Structure 1
Amino acid sequence: MEKSDQALTLVLLALLGGFLASAVEVQPSINPAVVGGTVMFSLSPPMSLKSGSWALGETLILNWVGDQQAFFPGYSGRASVNLTTGALTLSSLKLTDSGVYVVQSNDPALSANASITVIETVSNVTLSTNQTDLTEFNSSAVMRCSVSSGSPLSFLWMNGSSTITAGIRVQVTDGNATLIVTNVTRYDSGPFSCHVFNLISNGTSNPVNFTISYGPENMALTVNGLSGTSFPVGSNLTMLCSVNSSPPAQLQWAFRGNLMNTTGAILQLFLVSQNQSGQYSCLAFNNRTNMLNSITKDITISKSEQQVMNVLLLLLSLTGFLSSLPAWLTQLLEDFTE
């Protein structure tokens, strides 16, 4: 082969080697990687490197020449290079190992890089709150979600099986780690939970429930299960007071504005007389909300026409006037009162 041909061949081989080197890629064995785990950075296509160096950004990890390696602070015992292929293995990964890994070599000449993210596994998701006993429209529920480990983190808040989003009464702060529900209603009792996740793991807290006090409200008063207010003398009356309240309201009865010695939802009156006509009130008090409510019903106790006729006959009989009436009229009065 002539010298000119040899020179041309060497130039072509050098150009081809430079092209191949520029086409080399670094491929991490896993991405993202887990704290404490191991990752290998391989060259593709595989190449035989007689010397070179690995770095994380501007920070050198190691370099090698032939079969000699030199490690830089923080990487001794964690990093190694395959002297045949140039692949880097890095173990006991830390969060600070995230970044761009660069391999460089002069024999042959190449420079390539790849980036990885090191993530910490989510563990021990905990939901805490300032208090669990709240009053409707007067309290705020503050919930904080935390983990023992994990990064980076994303938070998802749940009320039962429904996802919670920010709104007029709902605020999410601290990078979504804190949930605040202002002016709680009885429908904000929960169960609340937080779901924490990243690219490699997730976890959910135990649920938290709130006790929401409200009322008393929506009161109703019935007598003998009826809505009527007029009853005959001698009746037995059972008055029932119902109210919506949490915790259950304390109930007290009053008659004509005066408290009675009867508490609870039921007031019973036996063989009532006319002088028991008047306003009956049910008073409801919630000692958690400090709210008082009442309902009043005006009850009329009166004699029926039957009772009036019986009294009339009794008076006529006592005065002897009944015996002086014509027989047909006496029979008519008796038939009417039967």
Structure 2
Amino acid sequence: MGTRDPPACQGRDMGISLSGLPPAASVLGSCLQPAPAQTPVTIVLTPPSPVVGGGVSLAPQPPPENLVLCSWHRSATADEKSRILSYNPATSPPQTPGPAHTGRETAGPSCALNIAGLTLSDTGNYTVLIMNPGVLTIPVTLRVYGKCHPQELEILPKPTVTPNQTQVLENGTFTLTCNSSPSVNTMLWLRDGASLVPSERLVLSPDNWTLTVLGVTRGDAGAYQCEVGNPVSTNRSEPSNVTVAYGPDSAQIDPPGPIALTLGSLLKLTCVADSVPAPSYRWLLNDTDTKETGSSLTFNLTTWAQQGTYECWTHNPVTGRTAWASVVALWGAQHWGGKDGPPRM
């Protein structure tokens, strides 16, 4: 009679991809056992704070015993797409590149990963899968620092935008500047939380630190922020509020005329004008200043002299623009016994 695998080994799917490995890898078979209890393995970085342009070694410590195979992955999981390389000490050459190999990575003894010519984009999550012959998966985070001041990449301080408040005339120009740490790698401008795309009117300096808006429209008003980032942190400034001064282009009085006045009733006129900042108001009756300066005019109708032409004048002190509207209000003839005006005294 022939021999059979133990039931626990039949059809076992270990979820481990060995694509790209030499035929010798098949000796692992389909019955990998969990790693026996041993000293916990950690990943030691040498040097501990690698910098741009230099190199780094990521080495399991203590070195794995009875190593059969290991693979390094540029992700938080050991999936095939992120595999940098595999290392099998029983083959020649022992190293097999994977889909994520850049040409700068090599494998060292005891499954160490060596990366040369470091860039800031090398910062991220890495995972090593070790078979000896059990299976052990160890994640590690690599941080690559700038050459001059590597520790500045730890956490970026909150940037600031100057000026922090701006009022600009419609069709004018304004400029905002982002102030932050020199270790910034990315810089983004936002208005009301939405990122801005450079255009003929929205002009960024070559280093993105300065935003200039030309031919300002009313839609350019809002809260502007800059967002800075490096491989290890992101931070956003407090809003810099931009107000666009415009108008008034026109004015109108509500209710519109002609208005029939009623003795003893209340007359309320409201002047409406689209203007930023809010305009000043001035009310005239038959070309005489009423001394009223609010957007509304309210009074009781008691005398014949209260009929005539009411005018509302609006003025924006920032734009220098003025707009006005008028309405005619006359006594209703029905209140005077059919006559055209109030009774003569």
- Give the TM-score band, short-chain normalised: 0.5 to 0.7
Which of 257, 260, 266 lines up with 1:231 in the alignment? 260
Asked if 2 retains the 8 angstrom alpha-carbon contact of 1:126 and 1:147, the reply is yes
**Quick one: which amino acid aligns to residue 298 of structure 1?**
V
Task: Please state whether the residue corresponding to 1:116 is helix, strand or coil.
Answer: coil
Asked if 2 retains the 8 angstrom alpha-carbon contact of 1:233 and 1:274, the reply is no
**1:119 alignment counterpart:** 145
Gaps of 5+ in 1: 1-27, 47-99, 102-111, 316-338
Structure 2 distance, partners of 1:294, 1:160, is 34
CA positional deviation for 1:265? 2.0
**2:183 alignment counterpart:** 150
**2:140 alignment counterpart:** none
Higher helix content, 1 or 2: 1
**1:63 alignment counterpart:** none
Asked if 1 retains the 8 angstrom alpha-carbon contact of 2:252 and 2:324, the reply is no
Output one character per residue of 1:72-97: Cα deviation in whole Å (capped at 9) or x when no partner: xxxxxxxxxxxxxxxxxxxxxxxxxx
Larger Rg: 1
Please identify, of 259-268 and 113-122, the stretch whose mean Cα deviation from structure 2 is larger. Answer: 113-122
Higher strand content, 1 or 2: 1
Which of 186, 204, 215 lines up with 2:236 in the alignment? 204
**2:168 alignment counterpart:** 135
Asked if 1 retains the 8 angstrom alpha-carbon contact of 2:56 and 2:115, the reply is no
**2:337 alignment counterpart:** 307
Task: Please state whether the residue corresponding to 1:304 is helix, strand or coil.
Answer: helix
CA positional deviation for 1:131? 6.5
Q: TM-score, normalised by structure 1?
A: 0.53
Shift in CA distance, 184/132, structure 1 to aligned 2, threshold 3 Å: farther
Shift in CA distance, 295/253, structure 1 to aligned 2, threshold 3 Å: same
Task: Please state whether the residue corresponding to 2:337 is helix, strand or coil.
Answer: helix
Structure 1 distance, partners of 2:115, 2:260, is 96
Asked if 2 retains the 8 angstrom alpha-carbon contact of 1:127 and 1:143, the reply is no
**1:188 alignment counterpart:** 220
Q: TM-score, normalised by structure 2?
A: 0.52
Task: Give the percent of matched residue pairs that are identical in Structure 1 and Structure 2.
Answer: 23
Which of 283, 287, 292 lines up with 1:253 in the alignment? 283
Shift in CA distance, 133/177, structure 1 to aligned 2, threshold 3 Å: closer
Gaps of 5+ in 2: 1-43, 64-103, 106-113, 120-143, 147-152
Task: Please state whether the residue corresponding to 1:216 is helix, strand or coil.
Answer: coil
Asked if 1 retains the 8 angstrom alpha-carbon contact of 2:282 and 2:289, the reply is yes
**Quick one: which amino acid aligns to residue 202 of structure 1?**
T
**1:285 alignment counterpart:** 315
**Structure 1 vs Structure 2 CA RMSD:** 4.1
CA positional deviation for 1:179? 1.1
Structure 2 distance, partners of 1:148, 1:129, is 15
Shift in CA distance, 199/268, structure 1 to aligned 2, threshold 3 Å: closer
Asked if 2 retains the 8 angstrom alpha-carbon contact of 1:235 and 1:272, the reply is yes
CA positional deviation for 1:158? 1.3
CA positional deviation for 1:162? 1.0
Number of residue pairs the alignment of both structures matches: 218
